[in-house]
Structure 1
Amino acid sequence: MARGLSARALPVEPLWFEWAALVGAFAFSAWLLGVRGVWALLLRSDPTGITLVILVVFVVATLWSGSRSRELTRQRRALEQAAAGGSAAMLRDESWAAEYWAALAASPRDAGAPLDLLLERTHGPHSTAWWVNGIQLKLGLLGKVIGFSILALQIGEMQNFDASQSQDLLRSLTTGLGVALLTTMVGLVGNILLGLQLTRLDRFADELVAQAQRHGLRLVPVSTGSQG
């Protein structure tokens, strides 16, 4: 019956290919915005450079998400192959599931410590990535504060109002307002798009842990029995 369950193991979701397709959509959108002159407008309208920092953080975090999705897919595929074969020995030494099952076999009465190790491998780096995702939003809010501060300083420097200088005055006032709005918008968009990738990674990692526990209940008793 256990062999029958392993034979019906679900296929591994193509997480890395999903990420590649998403990045392809990002690249096309970035190219289209560049053709329309949006990037030049954003960078030119933000003298503080916060918009550029947010974009760099987003690109680096997106590339990390791709590397992470590839590693999670590799770990899940190795787990499914071992589960289909019905033996934990089929896993390579660098497999997280192999370490989890070996720890269970060494101390079958204490399943908490091996599970904590597995969770650290599958979910640990994501906490830092979520922190980086929040940085984008905080940088956008920082740009908003700086922009309104510039706007307030420019208004405070006004001593009299001359109708002939209204155009120059309006241009100087909109500089601070543009910084406030553009940095906030870029931070929000980056936070949403990176959060979408990290949410998918977390969901895939949850499924990886669930599969390792499910197959571990079947494989570990066999391995411990053979050792006895």
Structure 2
Amino acid sequence: MKALRLARPGAPAVEPLWMEWLALAGMFAFATWLLGLKGVWQLLLHADPTGITLVIMVVFVAATLWCGMRSRELESQRHALERGEGWAAEYWAALAAKGGDTGAPLDLLVERTHGPHGTAWWVNGIQLKLGLLGKVIGFSVLALQIGEIQNFDPSQSANLLRSLTSGLGVALLTTMVGLVGNILLGLQLTRLDRFADAFVASAQRRALGQGD
């Protein structure tokens, strides 16, 4: 087991997870600037008096920053594995101490590599649920406005149409923002999960003496 803690010459290159996230964050920053230049953000925020769209955006930005920190930590631990340090070294030491019992050490390693992702996936689902909540609120507002109509006055058709479309706008915009945020954050979390899977597999192969 001691040989496992030595970095092997010619070891495969570690995937640049942190750089991948930086590239993705750069794309997000450019898209944010471009949409702001076109007035899209102002349109979204002004069209949603409930504030749900803003909440979804804040949740997405915070979760994306967390993904960046998590990607850096996972890549750092993958480099540490090549040096025989970090989470992998603790896993190998636990294996040596437990003898033939591999279940508990593996569970601890999986918890470290994948555990925090469960909460992040829950947050990702929150974006979608907030979008659906905005949809329900928007259609509820629309239904209430229709219910208040008693007499149709052609001279007030413009104001009537404006009041009706405000509820529909809330319903559609919040749903769209929630779906987009859910897709983009899910893409990041899937990449983190796959990298964590590869980390656990590499640590297990080293423990079995098979290398990468």
Shift of 1:98: 1.4
- Which residues of structure 2 form unaligned runs of 5+? none
- Which residues of structure 1 form unaligned runs of 5+? 83-90, 220-228
3-state SS, counterpart of residue 209 of structure 2: helix
Q: Aligned match of 1:27 in 26, 29, 49?
A: 29
State how 1:11-160 maps to structure 2 within 5 Å: 11-82=13-84, 91=85, 95-160=86-151
Shift of 1:99: 1.2
Shift of 1:204: 0.2
Shift of 1:218: 2.5
TM-score by length of 1: 0.88
CA distance in 2, matches of 1:203, 1:108: 29
Equivalent residue number for residue 155 of structure 2: 164
Percent of pairs identical after alignment? 77
Deviations along 1:162-220, one digit per CA (max 9) or x if unpaired, are: 0000000000000000000000000000000000000000000000000000111229x
CA distance in 1, matches of 2:169, 2:134: 10
CA distance in 2, matches of 1:22, 1:108: 43
Shift of 1:128: 0.4
CA distance in 1, matches of 2:99, 2:46: 62
How much is the aligned-residue C-alpha RMSD, in angstroms?
Answer: 1.6
